[in-house]
Amino acid sequence: MKILIADDDELSLMLMETTLKRIGYDVVAAVNGRDAMDRLLEIDGPRLALLDWMMPEMDGPVVCQNIRALSHRPYIYVTLLTSKDSKADLVEGLDAGADDYLTKPCDPEELKARLRTGQRIPQLEDQLVTAREEMRFKATHDPLTTLWNRGKILESLDQTLQIGHPSAVLLCDVDYFKGINDTHGHLAGDAVLREIAHRLRRAVRQDDAIGRYGGEEFLVLLTGCDERSLLERAEQLRAKVADTGFNIEGDSISVTVSIGAIFASGDEPRQSSEAILRRADEALYLAKQNGRNRVVTTSAHMV
């Protein structure tokens, strides 16, 4: 773990650096308070800091105050190094935001033990951040395909319609998917859904969005897609799925999707996502009726 040591006294700095390296820390040295601040605020900067109390330019407690005043940053566990040992001084140091203090000269065993304790705080914070990220991911993603889940893709559709940018809405449904499950088993069916998700994701652009709308239905939003490119773009997606066999337990099986494609121009009176989805569903129904593995598009002017 990285640790910052800040001391204006060269000899103390060197001795402490040697001790910390011996304990196994990755040491970042600073020669004054301002230097310490700069190093602590670097991206991936140290999360443990040992600050000498008295330093030119900015003393240890002021560095603490400045760090604590910054919100939305990873926590830095700060220990002040001091030759002061009056209670009033220590309270002042802790009030400035320090987590702990050590009186100089430090006993190496005590230093080691205190830092081990301090380390738990950034570690705990990292665990919490990871857990929060996982929860956020789960709340917005489909676990099987890792695409956006239904709630999130519908939210994106609402937002896109609100903004009023021209865009395309594609409702894709796997053809005869029940047959794939029946013939190859449910797990093979799951693998097919994952592979379709992978192919669709590769076929769209950075700003586009794809979600799992239902069991074997995917909703794709092509932002900024104009009406002339609607059919071409939807065809690309269809072909990405249909053109190469799916490798299922060593067999290559053919999988296709039918797509109902709707163009939302953005300049017509704002349409509700329900209305757009209803039209996409109608177009999808026609694609199924007309033989599957095809795209049917309807624009606002065509219905």
Helix axes 273-289, 150-163, angle to 10 degrees: 110
Q: Which is nearer to ligand GH3, 129 or 187 (CB)?
A: 187
DSSP 218-241: EEEEEET--HHHHHHHHHHHHHHH
Query: What binding mask, one character per residue, do residues 202-221 give for Mg ion by CB under 5 A, x or -?
Result: --------------x-----
| Rounded least distance, CB 293 to ligand GH3, Å | 9
- Dihedral angle over CA of 266, 271, 272, 278, nearest 10: -100
Catalytic site includes residue 155: no
Give the C-alpha separation, 226 to 224, whole Å: 6
| Chosen residue from 174, 197, 295, 296 binding Mg ion by CB under 5 A | 174
230 near Mg ion, rule: CB under 5 A: no
CA 256/CA 172 separation, integer angstroms: 10
Site residues for ligand GH3 per CB under 6 A: 144, 173-179, 181, 186, 189-190, 193, 215-216, 288, 292
What's the N-to-C CA distance of the chain in angstroms? Answer: 63
Shortest distance (Å) from residue 277 CB to Mg ion = 14
Element (H, E) at 247: strand 246-248
Smallest separation, CB 222 to ligand GH3 (Å): 22
251 binds, among Mg ion, ligand GH3, none (CB under 5 to 8 A by kind): none
Report d(CA 33, CA 213) in Å as an integer: 55
> One of 133, 216, 217, 274 is an active-site residue; which one?
216
To the nearest whole angstrom, how small is the minimum distance from the Cβ of residue 145 to ligand GH3? 9
- The catalytic site residues sit at 216
The residues binding Mg ion (CB under 5 A) are 173-174, 177, 216
